[in-house]
Every structure is written in structure tokens, then in C-alpha cells.
Structure 1
Amino acid sequence: MISRAFVLLFLFSLANASFVIEEECLNYTVYPVQYELTIIPYITEFSPFFDCQISINVIANAPGVRMIELDAKDLEINFSSIYVMKGNIDIVSRSRPYEYDVKNGKLYIYLAEPLIPYNKNSKINQSYHIKLVYRKKVTEKDEGIFLVKYLDENQQSKYLFTTRLTPNKAKYFFPCFDNPRFEAVFKFRVYVVAKNNVWQYTNTSIVIANEHRKVVNVPKDVIIDYSPSPQVTLNQVGFHYSRFTNILTSSKNDIFMVWAPGYTIHHYNFILMYGQKLMDLIHDYSGVERPILNGPIHLIAVPSDRIDGYEVTSWNLLTNRAHRIAHQEEYTSIKQLETMTFELAQQFCRIWLGNPGEPQRTRWREEWFKEGVATYLAYYFLAQYNNGVSHINHRQPLGSYGLDMKFRAMAVDSHRFTPPLANFNTSLAAEIPVRYKELVTMKTASILWMMENWIGSEKFHNALVKYINSRRGKYISLQDFTEAMDRDTIECTHRFSNGSRLLARWPRRAAPPLVLLRVLRDRPLNAIQLTQRRFSFTADHRQNTDFLIPISYIVQNNEDCINCYQPRFTIGSQSYTFGENLNNGWIILNRNASGYYRVNYDETTWKLIAKTLEENHEAIDELNRAQIVNDVFALYVAGDISLPLAMEILNYLDKEHNAVVWKAAISGFDLLKTEENGCNMTRHLYKEWQEFMKRKIAPTYNKLSNSHDYNTRLSRSSVVNFACFLKYQPCIQNLKYMYEQYRRGNMRLDPDFREAIYYMLLQDNSYFGANRLNDFEEDDRRRAEHRLKEENRFIMKTPVGVPRPMPIIMSTTTESTTLIASPIMTHQAGSSSTLIPSLFIAVPPLLFALR
């Protein structure tokens, strides 16, 4: 046993020498090397618990240590079982053996002699074993490890144990050194108790290590020994104990297993097949015969609202709330399906980028950077999956997914107190606050998308996968990544700056930049002036910035365009001027909308863009139209453009039926509720915007397709939600008709419209019906309730203001004046307009969707 301990310590010192040196903030003088846990669970309806024998192999980090401090919260410790073994000798003090601070969850073990500091060159025994026995009573409200109740096929109550140890909750599961920087090996032994009339029989025990062997003892308990785990942090430990069954699939060397109650297992066929497709895409992308994970990936459907999404550090024991991974045609909405597929893609990418189960461990010095790369790749694989791409030779660009992650990032990043990404350099992924999760994931992914478009998609992806494959078993850092990208993507004839310079400043600066474009049109070769400053919703914090911004552009009349459709140039802290013959047309920056910045043009250019959008909006690419629409909302809220100019640019939206553009418009409209703004928002102004957008959404709503393909369903759901939010009466009447038919039992409720219906019911304080909502329905109800609360909170905090004076238009007819003032017109004055009746009770256009 002692020789085994020395081998373990020697391997530990080799594997972790650099890691221990780097972590100067360790706050314990004792370091855990290995935990051994023998768990005997007893599940019953009245008092579920488990007994555990634990042995912790430790070394001392400092001389003179005579007290060991363990974290142990809500555990019933058998104090007579506490030992600290130095070989075969117990060195716990007899006069003062221990203290247990129940309130703070601290167990102090006092020693009769000081611990010997660890020295890898010493030949004497320097390892110690802390041993104790405890009992943990498990309830549904516990932290760390908790009880989950569900109904089986006979509607009988069943229970399971499952863990969620992020953040800092391992102490509720077992006594430990609860420092998120400590890594140790874990060795589990679990008893599956024999069938009897007292305890619920279970047959599923899963931990973070692979099963080694099973034996059966005299009472017919099944004893499962697991192989020692890799070195992991406490938040990577996992344990699950239930009576579940599984389905599995494989892809090359990978096995993917989904666990759920037996009678529901067919609901998880979709996520199983999707997981297999994801693994195929990752294998094809990586180009090497290397498994994503050594051993199976277990995905467990936990029927509990305590779980919402994956733990970012999990790699082989993934848990998620059951309805977040189940697919039931009659209940799963298209938005829930979109969330489901993205979350699993993101988690698989985290695993592929580096996990403790690798033969050679890959570590990321900046875990926020790993989160961003995983998010970028998740969207990349999702774009391939939803477009049916099966090989990298037919690579599908990010497109609308790139815009989505950029707008989500900017919505968080534009607020004054949002920190730069580099502030998280030393943060573990599990420690990043929830309010900054989207900043870290979406902003980093957006910057990578900008870099991809700057370098070129083919070169970028080839260099990225080459770099990841080359760093197996090594450290990955942002600096090393950018230098490697330079080596693999920069050609000697390339006349533009390299990727490392491009990327270097973005993590150190907060907020997206705003590029100001002015065109001097008083000369044949027009001069275009570019400057940059920080984008801010208020007049504060608008200082000049020094981002290295890649500039791409398109021009309206491109016959003589010098730099169109090729890599352009970058701008920095200094203003930049270049010449271009615009031929009295517009110029639009940020071609393909991949740059992480907003643009404000001079008024003449804005009006030229507005004119083209009104006359022939498809002359501008959909991604650029989406960027323009979203920018206009943001610039108006910031007070950078006037209300008449903003509405003039957006006036064309009644002709716009593109899903990508409307998604950008909807996210842009949400910016109007920004509390700190430069537009002096009032309730009257907000109401005017609502009426304006109500007129613009009407034609798109009335032309909704009845197709059931993925993208159409997603677009249709967003439009209906937005129309309902704006209180567009034809939409409201259709939703009321659907819900009434559903209550009468004539038709089921279409899940794609469920959130809109719940929002309508909550807004009217209407009756939800006697039937209890299932998890899918409850998820939509919570989202609708949150949106209504946010809307009401915004209204209450916003001053009333006064109505704007209506413009006076001289006209020979009464009709044109009426068109301006009416709140229910489909178009504004000066265009072909038709009145929409205030009560449109007819069933079309949404009845087609009631499948």
C-alpha cells in the first residue's frame, strides 16, 4: 500500500508540478492527492440517505502543519471514525481531536505531531490518509447532491440521487478541500442495495470514471468498483444513482449513451441521433482518428427544475433537465429544439477542446477563451447540421448564427459597467458569473467570426484545427493561439496586418467600437473618413478607442470600386481616409456583417441607404440589411441619430419578409427598453415605436408560410411572438381562437405559438385552465412571465413624457393625413397603404399551423 502511495505521489508531482507552482493563491497548507469513497445509498420516500466511508490521501505544502481544515456541510460525521494515518499510526491529537463548525461547514482535525512537508526527492513516507465515516440525508432541497422525484409508467413515485457541484458545493456531498484550484484523483466504490420491501431498488450507478468490476456479496448487494479517475477539480466530480435505462450509439471510437426512465426513453431518440451526427461532424472536422473522449459519454435526463443547462466542466457525466433534451412532437417547440441542439453542440465542443479524460491532458490558460471557441464551433457545427452538410468540402458559413451571437454579445457588452474579457483571465469557467456568461461565450465567438472573415474561412478553419490537434497534452493560451494562426495563415505577399495584432486589443477593451463614417462628396474621387470611439447608450464613456478594426465595405455603384470583394484594410486609433468613386451612391461598411462593431454614417449616406431599402431592399445583402436594422435601433437608443431618421431608414420593413432581418429587428427593438439611454425615452415615445413596428410586422405576419421545415418554423414562431408582444390585433384574435379551441378539446396547442399564447393570457390575467402544465409548457410560461415582468418594470421606470406633435402634410385629399395619424395602418404616408380592421376574427393565417 505504501509503495503504491509513493508511485501515486511521484506521478502526481510529474503531472502537476507546473500547475502547483502557477497557483500561488492556494489557501490550504494541505493538498489532496486522491479521494477514495465507498458509497452505500438507501432511497426511500421518507428518509433517503447514503452512508460513506472516505479516505483522502494528502501531502503537506508547508512546515509546522498541526491542523487539517476540511469543508463539510450538512453531513452527519461519525467523529469516532476520524483518523489521520501516517503509515499505520494515527496522529490525531488525543487531547483535542477535532472541532466541527456546523454553521460554516468546517471540520478541524488537530494533530499530535506536525505534518512533514512534501519533497519529491525525499525517500521517507510523506503521504497521509484522512479517514472518516459519515451519513448524508438527501432531500429535494439539498445543495450539491439532491433527491429528485418523478413518476414511473404506473404513476408511482420514484426517486434518484444526482449531483451538481458547481460552484463550491462538493462539501455538501463529501468532506473535502473545497478549493476550485485543487485537483485530485477520485476512486469510487458504490453499493447497489439488494431488492427489499424498505428501499427503492435501483440499477443505475454512474460516476466520473469507467466501471472496473462488479461483485455480489452475501446480502446480494451489487458492489461496483470504478477505475481511478483522471485528476479533476471538485466541480468536475459527478455521481448519479437511479433506476434508469439507456439507449446508445457510437461514432468511430466514441460511445454516446442517454439515460432516462424506461417508459420515456423513446423521447430521447432525437438527441441520441443528433449526438451521433455531431460526433461525426467533429471527427470529420478534426481530420484525425482520435476519439472525442476515452470511454462513453453519459447524458442523463434529470426530471428536476433544479437543473438548467449543462455544467461547463463536465466531460463524461452530463446532466440536463429532462425536457431540455427530450423531443416530443406534440410538446417541443422549435425554440426549445434550437436551444437543445445548441447546448449539446457547445458541450461536445468543450469536451473535444480538452477534458480530463484525455491520455494527455490539454489545459487552457484562459478558460473564457475556451468557452468562446466552444461556442463558435457549436454554431459552426449547428450551421452544418441544419443545412445538411456532411463534409468539410461543402462548408456552410455561419451567416445568421454569426449575427445572432454578435447581437447577443453586444446587448450585454454595451452597458457601462460590463468588464473586458481579459478580466476573466484567471477565472475558472465554472466561476464566471451568470450575468457574464453570454459576454464571455458570445463576444469571444463573435471576435473569432470576425477573424475568420478577415483571414479567409478556409485558411482560418485549417489553421484552427491544426493548432488544436498540435496542442494535445499541452497548454493553450490566447497569445500562443494567435501566434500559431499567424504562422499558418499569413503569406509573405500579404499586405495587411496579422491575426495576432488584430486580436490582441479586443480582450483588453470593454464595449463594441462605433465606426463613424463621413463621405466628402465635393470631389470626383470621394474621400471617405473613418474614425472610431466606444459605443455607449449614454453620453458617458464615449472615449476614443484603439481597436484594430478590419474594414470591409460595399458600394452602391460598384463599376469603379477599387477594393470590393477582397480583403480591405484595418483602422486603429487614428482617423483613416481613403478614396472611392461612389457615383452619388452609398457605401456600407462591414460586408457580411462579421465585424464586431457598429457603424454610424453621415446623414446623406443614411438617406441614400434608406432610399435603396425602400425601392429595392434586396439590392443589399440580407446580412447587411440585418446589421443596418439592428444598428439603427442601437444608434437611436444611444441618441446618435434622430427619431425621424431612424424611422425613415426602417420604414421599408413592411416590404421585408426575410427571417434573418426580422430577427435582427426584434433584438434591436428590445434595445428600446435600455434603462440608461441617450434618446430620452418616454412612455409616449415607446408607444409610438410600438405602433410603428406594429404596422411594419403586419405584412410579414399576414404572409406567414405553412411550411414545417426547421427554418420556417423558427422564423414563424419569432414573428408571432413579436406580433403578440406588440398587441397586433389579428395575431391576438388568432391566438385567442387557438386557445379557445384547445380548451374545448377540438385541437391541440401548437408548441411553436405556446409562448405567445401564454404571454397574451398573462397580460389579460386570463385563466390558464385546470390542467397542470407539463415541463415544456411551464418553460414557455416562465419565459412569457419574465418578458411581461420586464416590460412592466420598464414602463414603470420610464417617464410619461408628452406626445410628439404630428407632422403637418399639405394634401388635396383627406386620406393622406389620415394615413399619418392612424395607428393601425400597414404603411406610412407616401406609400401604397391599406387599412387593417381593428378586429380581425378570421382564423387565417395561423390555423394552418395547428397540426
Structure 2
Amino acid sequence: MGKGGFYISKAVGVVAILLGAAAVATIIALSVVYAEEKSKNEVKPTEGKPEPSPTTTKATTAAPTTAAPTTAAPTSAAPSNEPWDKYRLPDTLMPEYYNITLWPRLQRNESGIFIFTGKSFVVFKCLQATNLILIHSNKLNYTKFDEHHATLTGIDDPNPPTINTTWLKLETQFLVIQLKGNLLHGKSYRLDTEFVGELADDLGGFYRSEYSEDNVTKVVATTQMQPTDARKAFPCFDEPAMKAVFHITLIHDNETKALSNGKEIDTKNIEGNLLSTTFEPTERMSTYLLAFIVSDYDSIEQQDDVLIRIWARKKAIADGHGEYALNITGPILQFFQKYYNASYPLSKSDQIALPDFNAGAMENWGLITYRETALLYDPQVSSNGNKERIATVISHELAHMWFGNLVTMKWWNDLWLNEGFASYVEYLGADHAEPTWNIKDLIVLGDVYRVFAIDALASSHPLSSREDEINKPEQISELFDAISYSKGASVLRMLSEFLTEDVFTKGLSTYLNHFAYNNTVYTDLWDHLQTAADTSGVELLHPVRDIMDRWVLQMGFPVVTINTATGTVSQKHFLLDPDSVVTRPSEFNYQWYVPIKWMKTGIEQEKVYWLQQKEDKNDNMSVNGNDWLLANLDVTGYYRVNYDNDNWERLLAKLTENHTEIPVINRGQILDDSFNLARAKIVSTTLALRTTKYLYNETEYIPWQVAINNLDYFILMFDRTEVYGPLQAYLGKQIKPLWDHFTQITDNWTKVPDNHMDQYNEVNAIKIACSTGFKDCQDLVKYWYTQWMQNPNDNPIHPNLRSTVYCSAIAEGGDKEWNFGWEMFQNASIASEAEKLRAALACTKYPWLLNRYLEYTLVPKIIRKQDATSTIIYIANNVVGQPLAWDFVRARWDDIFSQYGGGSFSFSNLINGVTKRFSTAFELRQLEQFKKDNAGTGLGSGTQAVDQSIERTKANMKWVAENKASVLQWFTTESG
């Protein structure tokens, strides 16, 4: 999404005894009334060391009528600092291999719930003598071995200690096993457990996903282990450095198929209508990369050096929706093998589309899981944006097969390197698969500018945290944010640029080969890149580690100011709110080593200039007369650029006279930098607005999209004020030539533009024209939508245009249009089409429809859990819906928090999404009260987002107060 240890070879792993029919009989005995087991396990977290509490119920070979009780430690009044009170595993034990058999039930039991039963053992080596075994366990119920939760045997210790007592430490999610003697240093042991868990619909661990096909409800048993949910599927040492080999067996109904990380090596009939499928042992890997799935899916495949299969619902496969993913997976795999100079390490690559999935996709080694929208493509329904998403997400996940899976971070504080790297090279892999798209340019829009908005806050955070700062599961989940993904991608792209791609890939290759099947910290990569630079003759002013530490260990980024009259170049920590106080210290005093690529009057300068101090002098950066200077070419550097007023004027004049002399990415950069510099009070707001005047002659996508993104901020701040009318009038004036351009090249909206970027900009032309009241546009979208309403089986709207046409038509219409859209959403069999409709339904201007829609978000049978938070955000994006969504979130926070959990990756998005329009003192008080009111319930992974929203609201208030009058005057003048 994606340390050294003891390596166990495949030969040793195969020696492990695989569970056969006898074990299956034992597991059948675990099929109990889960509701009773669950109630017995619902004990409160404990503090302190328990007294030994032997149990009285032993496991039997027949199914018990009541589950054996699960013991928990009694409460102690005094604070405790015992090992089980910490969230991290001690460094006393290291797993070598697991043997796991799981049986998910795809039908409800007598108590009306879904369960899975399991039997597993782990062989581990003792690294330090100890009388304590801590192994992660969460929401599992255990049957008993000899009055305990587990049995312990020695592999090479003939006299292993016996178990004294066991209990569950719920807060830190440990099964605690105290022994009567010590495990011996260097010896290996085997721990056996049997357990029962709920196959819940919570999207984490071993869970269920439901869908309807041919009017039949079907269930998929699937997994999402990252970051800390493997412990919900079986007891394990659930930390990324605790790599091991996994032997997996799945028991499943005869009409279903079983998948796991390894290739299936044996399937046999057992016990009536059941099958037992065993898989080849995995490579040495982390628990968070495990996957096992049982479904009745179909697949399509290609066999080259690697078996590639695409799995999905039967109808989706029959209709050819997996073909595009299959066609590009092979080329992308081949690209990464060449890029890394390392062969794909597995025998197969399965990719599967799931109806219910919280993330976009997950890089499980050999069995990648996806949302349907990220894997399935139907050319009749899917847009070019859907197609691009599939290409980039597949590329992202395949990149992880090496970087993340083969070589893994030691601990989650280095998550940024894993996700940032994949977020960078996903553009390279997708570009190889679709070379005509010019997709590599889009990283500036999709990642650099996206994360600038967050990293310019005083409440931002560095890419890499200290290891001891990240302990709890919710702290780990908070790391899955734009900083880790998009800033990580941005600074790695900058690193590749100044090293050169050849040196970058050379260092990557030696890094991956040296640390294969092991764990690293981020500085290990710097060391290998440094060696590659040294052996390639690349001269750097400072070592790679010294340069990159400044970008990794301190938050934020600089604004580089160039005075073209004097050649003075300076840097300063860029903050959107210059009055905000940065409380986080930095050992580098918020200075960076800044690589600057630049041009003078259209001529690119060959040598990169490095700004190393707060201020420097470079005579080559002074210009004369009408000459102009432009820095940060193609925005390869992670910083903003400001100039003296004269150079700004010369750039504006060049945009007006002949904008094509400035590279297209940098035309977007001039817009984005100026608007954000204005928000930071470095340049005037009217200067930023003036950069948009040339758009009257612009037809390229990137500058238009940058302008729309920045003017969206003005809309958010002013769409409830008198500024909104003149603002819309100006936008309508500027969009008219673009509307005419696409009217012409599409033969009056009947053909699709050939160019990938033009297809995106066609959507912009319609979106802005309709939203600004352009009658031709509104008539066109209403005509298309009415045609569809009259014949629901024949949608005349091109897939590229559906998102904006649906939204515009529903916004202009009433309950009739909304109800039709709702019916089409409910009947949509293609996930990408359902997504477009789900977003468009939030565009209505009727509060009662929006309130009804909000209530639907907490009913999983209507709005899937994976889509609940984004639906609320869609509604909040609507000026009518924003206060309704905010009231809903506050009133229903306990329900939202309990249903979607503090560890949900989308939780921070929810907080940011419903508050981004806040710009008044009243809204600030509401937000601060919300934080106070939920101090008890907690904000989970949204905690940091609330602080960022408070900071953003304060900045918005000041900006509106200082700029409203001048903005109103400017738009009034320019819209005439």
C-alpha cells in the first residue's frame, strides 16, 4: 500500500510437517457457537502482572458445547512496566517458520455470524535466555492444550520448559505465556495453538466481503494484514523485522477456490464437501504481506517466466474486465526486473479485485489485493482516468515486490521509504506500459503539489520519525499519509534527478541484492547510492546521507528566492501561515541543500546550482533588460521559487506574449508557486491572480488543472460571500476559448480527443463552463442526462465525461434526477461506474436529499464501509452539503468511530475533508470544541488531522480578512 534475522532455507522449511486429514478433524472440533466464545473474550485491558490462574476446561476431540474460557490478566492498581505492557516485542525470540491451517466459513453459523477456525504452529529460535513468550494475538479465542492456550515443544532442546500460565493482554494485543523454566539461547522451539475468530466485515485481518451476483449474495473470505492485523488471523510475531517462512493450508467448500502467497501445490477432498489446498512455502517475509483468500472467483492468465493471473467476480471475468490488467502486468514486471536489475523472486503473480477493500490496493507478496476500481477496466464504462489509475496502481504494487517485500523496512517509522519509493516509480512503470500518455509529468500534480499543501503547515512532520515514537497500532496507521507517500515520492524523484537515473538504479540494484529477504533502515539505501555515485564518477558537494538527511529528518521545505538584479539566492522554511509557530526543533535549523535546475530566457543551463546556505550569491543568476529567469525546471526539486518583482513581471509578460516558450510543467509551476506565495504573504494576491489571465490562450492540461486547484481555494473561502459572483464571471470568461477549442476538436462533442492529457482537459472545459452558468454547457449535459433517463439501458454519455456530466445534471436538476442517479448507482455492476454516480449524488442542492444521503453512509448494505468516509467528503465538498456533513460527523462521531475504527487509513481524510472550508471564528470554536468533546472517545488516526485542521482554519480566517476586499475588486474589474 506497500534487521537481520535468522534465514531458513526452503529445504529446511519443507521439512516442516504439513497438516493433514487428522488436523482437519481437530479443526472441525473448533466449530463452536462463536457468540459465546466472543463474550468470554470481551474482557477489559489489564495492567500489572497476573497471578497464575489455571483453567479447568481441556480441549476435547469432539465439538464442545461451550467454548473453553479465555483467561485475561486481572487488573492491578499500580502502574506496570512489564514486557507485556509495551507494544513492541522483546528481542529474545525470532520466528523461523510457521505452519498455518485456516478454515473460513462462508455461511453464518447458528448464532448468525461468520467464523473461521485455525490451527497453527510457529518454530522460533531463542536469541536470549527467557522464561517468557510474547506473541501477538487480537480478537482470537483459544481452545486449551493441557490447561493452557498453547503447547510448547523443543526442536533441539530435549527438555523444554513447561508452561506455567497464559493470558491475553488485550491492550497491547499479546498472548502472554509464562514458563516454569528458561528457553535456552540458540535453541529452537515449537509453539502450537488452536483458535477461533470472527470473519467480520471490518476490512482488517481475515475478513469477509459480500457481493450480489445473479441475485445471489456471495461471500469472499479475504485479508488485509498491513500494518498490524495479521494477529487477527493467527497468533504471530507481527512486526516487519520478524520475517519467517510461511506454510499455508486452507480448508474450503468444494465449489470455491483458495489462494495464498505461494502457488497451489496440492488440493484434495476431505470430510464431505470440503477441500484442503496447500501452497508452496513462501519466501522469508513479513507477516503484514501475508494473504489468503477463499472465493468462487474466476481468472484469466498468462504464462511466461512467471504465471500471471487476474481474479475477479465471474461476470467481470466473463465480460473481459480483467484483460487490461493482464495485458499490462507482464510489461510492467519486465520493466521493474530491468530497472532493479533483479529477477522477480516468485513463481507467480496473482492479482485479485475485491468488492470490499479499505485501501486502494495491497502489495501482498504474490497475491496483490485491489479495490475493483483499481484493477477492472471496461472500455464501455471506464474513463481514461480509470484506465490510468489501474496502470499506476498495478505499477505501484508491483514495484513493492522488490522494494518493500524482498527488502523490508526494519520498523514502521521508515514506512515513507517503502511507500514513497513505490509512489515515485509507479509513474515509471506505467509510462513503460503506456508510453504515449506522457504520464511521468503528472507526478507534479498528483504528488508534489498535493503534499506541498500539508508540508507547508507548522503541524507537519518529518518523513522519518524516531523508532521509539511509533509504537501503537493507531500511531502506525497515522503514518499512511500524504507525507509518507507523496513527499517520499517527491524527494526520491529529486534524488534520482541530481544523481542521474543510471546512478540511482545502480545503487538500488546493489541495495536490493545485498539485503534480499532481510530488513533495512533508510540510511542503508543512502550508503548504496553513495557507493554507486563514487564508482560512477558523480561528484557531489556533500555525501548523499548529508544531503538527504535534511529532507528526511526535518519537516517542511524551502522557498528559494532569486533576486535577478543582484544574483542573490536565499532560502527560507516555507509556511502557508507565516505567523504560525513551529515548535518542532530541527538540528539543521530548517536549512536544506537545494539542487536548482534553471534557464535564462528559454535556454536551459547545463550545470545544477546547489544552494547550501541561507543566502548565497551567483552572478550567473542575474539578468538584464527583457531577459527572464526560471528556476526548478520541470519541478524536479522539492521547493517553491520566488523572484524579485521585475522578474515576475517579465515572466507574466512572456506568458502573455508567447507562453509556449516556457515549458508546460513550469507554466503550471508559475501558477502554483505564485498562489501559494500569496497565501504566505510573500507576493501579493493580485500578482497570483494575474498569472491566470494568460489561460485565455492556454489549452494544455497541467496549467489549467493547477489553476483550477488553486482557484478552488478561492471558491472554498468565498462561495458563501459576495465575492462568488464576480469570481464565477471571471472563470466563465477565461474558460470560453477552451470550451470553443474542444467544441471544435471533438466535432461538437461527438468525438474523443486523441491525446491523453487533452481528454482530461476536455473534462475541465465542461466542468468549469457548466459550474459558471455557461448555458450551452448546461443545456448539453441536461440533454445527455435526459436521454439516459429516457432509456436507462443506453447511456449516451462518454465514460470520460460521466463524472462531470452526472454532477452537473444532478446539481441543476431536482429529486427526479437524483432518484434516477440513485437507482443507477444501486444497479451498477461496474465499480468504476458506481464510483462516478456515488460522487455525483453529492452534487444536489437539496439539503433533504443530502441529509438522507448522509444517513446512508452508516448503513453498510447501502454504502459499503470502504466508501463511507469518501461519500461524506463528497457531500462536504458541496457548499450546501458542507454544514450538513459537519453536523453529521459531530453528532454521529461515536458511531463513525466504532464502525470504522481508529486505525482506518481514511480517517484523517474525513476530518480534513469536512473542515477544509472553515474560515470563520465560529467554525474554529466548533472545531476546537469537537477536539475537546472527543478527548475521551479518541480521534484515532485522525488526531493529527484535527490539529492540522485547526491550524488551517486559523490561517484561512486571517487570509480572508486580509484579502477579501482586494480579491472582490480584482474579480469585479477583470470579469467585465
One fold, TM greater than 0.5? yes
Tell me which residue corresponds to 2:333.
279
How far apart in 1 are the matches of 2:514 and 2:239? Answer: 31
Contact 2:392 2:429 in 1 (8 A): no
What one-letter code is carried by the residue in structure 2 that aligns with 1:240? Answer: I
Picking from 599, 603, 609, the partner of 1:554 is 599
Structure 2: where are the runs of 5+ without partners? 1-5, 14-85, 583-588, 747-751, 843-872, 883-915, 921-956
Whether 1:576 aligns to 2:620 is no
Q: CA 1:820 to 1:472, structure 2 compared with 1: closer, same or farther past 3 Å?
A: closer
Give CA-to-partner distance per residue, 1:80-134, whole Å, 9 cap, x none: 68442335999766xx8655678986655555x22x23322xxxxx444333433
The structural deviation recorded for 1:234 is 2.6
Whether 1:349 aligns to 2:391 is no
How far apart in 2 are the matches of 1:473 and 1:308? Answer: 25
Contact 1:550 1:571 in 2 (8 A): yes
How far apart in 2 are the matches of 1:687 and 1:282? Answer: 51
Tell me which residue corresponds to 1:381.
429
How far apart in 2 are the matches of 1:465 and 1:179? Answer: 25
Whether 1:263 aligns to 2:302 is no
Tell me which residue corresponds to 1:295.
347
Whether 1:190 aligns to 2:235 is no
The structural deviation recorded for 1:783 is 4.3
Picking from 211, 215, 220, the partner of 1:150 is 211
The structural deviation recorded for 1:752 is 2.2
Return the TM-score normalized by structure 2: 0.69
Tell me which residue corresponds to 1:816.
none
Contact 2:547 2:593 in 1 (8 A): yes
How far apart in 2 are the matches of 1:551 and 1:84? Answer: 62
Contact 2:8 2:245 in 1 (8 A): no
Match of 1:352, SS state, is coil
The structural deviation recorded for 1:753 is 2.5
Contact 1:208 1:238 in 2 (8 A): yes
Match of 2:562, SS state, is strand
Q: CA 1:632 to 1:102, structure 2 compared with 1: closer, same or farther past 3 Å?
A: closer
Contact 1:353 1:374 in 2 (8 A): yes
Tell me which residue corresponds to 1:85.
152
Whether 1:42 aligns to 2:84 is no
Tell me which residue corresponds to 2:381.
331
Match of 1:422, SS state, is coil
Picking from 229, 232, 236, the partner of 1:169 is 229
Whether 1:702 aligns to 2:768 is no
Whether 1:241 aligns to 2:294 is yes
Q: CA 1:587 to 1:275, structure 2 compared with 1: closer, same or farther past 3 Å?
A: same
Tell me which residue corresponds to 1:230.
283
Structure whose residues are more often helix by fraction = 2
Aligned length: 754
Picking from 531, 540, 545, the partner of 2:579 is 540
Picking from 480, 483, 487, the partner of 1:443 is 487
Picking from 731, 735, 754, the partner of 1:693 is 731
The structural deviation recorded for 1:377 is 1.4
How far apart in 1 are the matches of 2:546 and 2:175? Answer: 51
Match of 1:804, SS state, is helix
How far apart in 1 are the matches of 2:486 and 2:197? Answer: 39
The structural deviation recorded for 1:731 is 3.2
The structural deviation recorded for 1:805 is 7.3
How far apart in 1 are the matches of 2:244 and 2:514? Answer: 26
Give CA-to-partner distance per residue, 1:571-630, whole Å, 9 cap, x none: 122312222442333222122322211112222221121112112211212121111011
- Identity, in percent, stands at 19
How far apart in 2 are the matches of 1:674 and 1:413? Answer: 20
What one-letter code is carried by the residue in structure 2 that aligns with 1:703? Answer: H
How far apart in 2 are the matches of 1:295 and 1:148? Answer: 27
Tell me which residue corresponds to 1:606.
648
Whether 1:776 aligns to 2:832 is yes
Tell me which residue corresponds to 2:785.
739
The structural deviation recorded for 1:645 is 1.9
The structural deviation recorded for 1:787 is 4.2
Q: CA 1:382 to 1:757, structure 2 compared with 1: closer, same or farther past 3 Å?
A: same
Tell me which residue corresponds to 1:318.
368
Give CA-to-partner distance per residue, 1:333-357, whole Å, 9 cap, x none: 222222221111011111133525x
Give CA-to-partner distance per residue, 1:234-279, whole Å, 9 cap, x none: 322211011222211244x222111123332121011110111212
Contact 1:759 1:788 in 2 (8 A): no
What one-letter code is carried by the residue in structure 2 that aligns with 1:448? Answer: L
Q: CA 1:398 to 1:468, structure 2 compared with 1: closer, same or farther past 3 Å?
A: farther
What one-letter code is carried by the residue in structure 1 that aligns with 2:737? Answer: P
What's the Cα RMSD here? 4.0
Give CA-to-partner distance per residue, 1:307-348, whole Å, 9 cap, x none: 331224x22111112232111123222222222211110111
Q: Which has the larger radius of gyration?
A: 1
Give CA-to-partner distance per residue, 1:454-508, whole Å, 9 cap, x none: 3445555555556555654676554444444444446769586665554342112
Q: CA 1:299 to 1:65, structure 2 compared with 1: closer, same or farther past 3 Å?
A: same
Contact 1:607 1:649 in 2 (8 A): no
Give CA-to-partner distance per residue, 1:408-441, whole Å, 9 cap, x none: 2212211221111122668699975457532222
The structural deviation recorded for 1:538 is 0.8
Contact 2:421 2:489 in 1 (8 A): yes
What one-letter code is carried by the residue in structure 2 that aligns with 1:151? Answer: S
1:434-473 superposed matches below 5 A:
436-457=480-501, 460-461=504-505, 464-465=508-509, 468=512, 472=516
The structural deviation recorded for 1:728 is 4.8
Whether 1:53 aligns to 2:113 is no
Match of 2:119, SS state, is strand
Return the TM-score normalized by structure 1: 0.78
Structure 1: where are the runs of 5+ without partners? 13-22, 121-125, 195-200, 390-395, 521-526, 559-563, 809-818, 830-851
Match of 1:158, SS state, is strand
Give CA-to-partner distance per residue, 1:630-677, whole Å, 9 cap, x none: 1122112222222322222321111111112112222333454788xx
Tell me which residue corresponds to 2:876.
789
Q: CA 1:101 to 1:373, structure 2 compared with 1: closer, same or farther past 3 Å?
A: closer
1:72-151 superposed matches below 5 A:
72-75=138-141, 77=143, 82-87=149-154, 98-99=166-167, 107-109=175-177, 111=179, 113-114=180-181, 116-120=182-186, 126-141=187-202, 143-151=204-212
How far apart in 1 are the matches of 2:702 and 2:241? Answer: 43
Match of 2:465, SS state, is helix
How far apart in 1 are the matches of 2:474 and 2:416? Answer: 10
Picking from 714, 728, 731, the partner of 2:760 is 714
Picking from 611, 628, 644, the partner of 1:586 is 628
Contact 1:556 1:582 in 2 (8 A): no
How far apart in 2 are the matches of 1:311 and 1:340? Answer: 13
Whether 1:517 aligns to 2:570 is no
Picking from 113, 119, 137, the partner of 1:71 is 137
How far apart in 1 are the matches of 2:8 and 2:429? Answer: 42
Tell me which residue corresponds to 1:630.
672
Contact 2:148 2:166 in 1 (8 A): no
Q: CA 1:215 to 1:643, structure 2 compared with 1: closer, same or farther past 3 Å?
A: closer
The structural deviation recorded for 1:298 is 1.1
How far apart in 2 are the matches of 1:607 and 1:66? Answer: 71
How far apart in 1 are the matches of 2:118 and 2:328? Answer: 38
Whether 1:401 aligns to 2:447 is no
Picking from 651, 660, 681, the partner of 1:639 is 681
What one-letter code is carried by the residue in structure 1 that aligns with 2:190? Answer: H
The structural deviation recorded for 1:73 is 0.9
How far apart in 2 are the matches of 1:574 and 1:779? Answer: 48
The structural deviation recorded for 1:161 is 0.8
Tell me which residue corresponds to 2:56.
none
What one-letter code is carried by the residue in structure 2 that aligns with 1:249? Answer: Q
Match of 1:308, SS state, is coil
Q: CA 1:181 to 1:576, structure 2 compared with 1: closer, same or farther past 3 Å?
A: same
